């Protein structure tokens, strides 16, 4: 059977234990099949779809993990309210060609007494790491466990979480995983807002206010294309544009090196609260803006 996207589909296996997933992948390996992994926290949208679509195109079998990772959430964050529409997610994964869904429980992922955490030093201590202490330790730990459970050839991440991408790349390299980290472009709505599961929290007025993020990135990018190279000036352009929106509470707005996120570079990064919703976005200055749109 083929979906409306033209992808040959079948009902994906749903497994909840790492041991079961390893058995599934081992059977694929005996057939000399390649494996792609798409780690997600569910609430799948067109951005996730682009990752699953890329994995299905580049590998013989695709595993989509759906796990709302408690270690990534700090005190007062939205772990309990984070959307969990599993049946909808399973249907979308099927339509996009996923062969298996790995959906462990928190107790399966972190068994009682588990004491091991994975930390990527340096990258975990700036920007998002400062704003969300322990966040990247949670990311690195769950990604390492997902890699061990699925043992993929390639793993797929979205550019919207740029600092997370840098952390995962360093983890994969430092631990000699042999896994290729594939990064897919940000998917934006037709008005420029980067797609995020948290966009569902925004009311109508907040949704409009959230467009300040893409306006700020466009402003800095326009200046860069006209020859501006001073990181301080580019940073001020980001901040000044965001200040024009009264609902925007800026956590950070900076221009950094996309590898270490410490020194100056050409990656414009933002974290902004609109109402109670925290949004992030980024853009590599000098590159075309919003090449891929949803809708």
Give the catalytic positions in this structure: 48
276/236 Cα distance (integer angstroms): 24
Question: Whose structure tokens read 């949803």?
Answer: 294
Q: Is 111 exposed, middle or buried (0-12, 13-18, 19+ CB in 10 A)?
A: exposed
Do 145 and 109 touch, CB atoms closer than 8 A? Answer: yes
3-class SS letters over the chain:
CECCCCCECCCCEEECCHHHHHHHHHHHHHCCCCEEEEEECCCCCHHHHHHHHHHHHHCCEEEEEECCCHHHCCCCCCCCCCCCCHHHHHHHHHHCCCCEEECCCHHHHCCCCCCCCCCCCCHHHCCHHHHCCCHHHHHHHHHHHHHHHHCCCEEEEECCCHHHHHHHHHHHHHCCCCCEEEEECCCECCCCCECCHHHHHCCHHHHHHCHHHHHHHHHHHHHHHCCCCCHHHHHHHHHHHHHCCCCEEEEEEEEECCCCCCCECCEEEEEEEECCEEEEEEEECCCCCCCCECC
β-pair partners for 264: 256
């Amino acid at each position: 059977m083929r979906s409306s996207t033209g992808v040959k589909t079948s009902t994906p296996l749903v497994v909840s234990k790492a041991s079961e997933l390893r058995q599934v992948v081992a059977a694929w390996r005996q057939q000399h099949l390649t494996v792609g992994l798409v780690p997600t926290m569910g609430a799948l949208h067109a951005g996730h779809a682009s990752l699953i679509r890329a994995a299905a195109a580049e590998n013989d079998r695709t595993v989509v993990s759906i796990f709302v990772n408690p270690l990534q959430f700090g005190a007062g964050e939205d772990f309990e309210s984070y959307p969990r529409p599993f049946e909808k997610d399973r249907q979308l994964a099927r339509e996009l060609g996923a062969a298996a869904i790995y959906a462990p429980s928190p107790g399966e992922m972190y068994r009682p007494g588990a004491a091991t955490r994975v930390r990527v030093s340096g990258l975990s201590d700036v920007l998002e790491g400062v704003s969300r202490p322990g966040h990247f330790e949670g990311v690195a730990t769950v990604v390492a466990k997902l890699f061990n459970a699925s043992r993929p050839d390639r793993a797929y991440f979205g550019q919207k979480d740029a600092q997370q991408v840098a952390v995962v790349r360093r983890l994969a390299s430092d631990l000699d995983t042999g896994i290729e980290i594939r990064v897919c472009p940000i998917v934006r709505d037709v008005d420029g807002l980067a797609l995020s599961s948290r966009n569902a929290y925004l009311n109508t007025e907040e949704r409009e206010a959230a467009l300040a993020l893409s306006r700020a990135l466009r402003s800095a990018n326009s200046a860069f294309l006209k020859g501006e190279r001073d990181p301080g000036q580019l940073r001020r352009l980001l901040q000044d544009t965001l200040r024009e929106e009264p609902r925007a509470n800026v956590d950070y707005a900076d221009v950094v090196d996309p590898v270490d996120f410490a020194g100056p570079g050409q990656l414009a990064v933002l974290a902004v609260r609109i109402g109670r919703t925290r949004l992030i976005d980024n853009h590599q200055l000098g590159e075309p803006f919003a090449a891929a749109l949803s809708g």
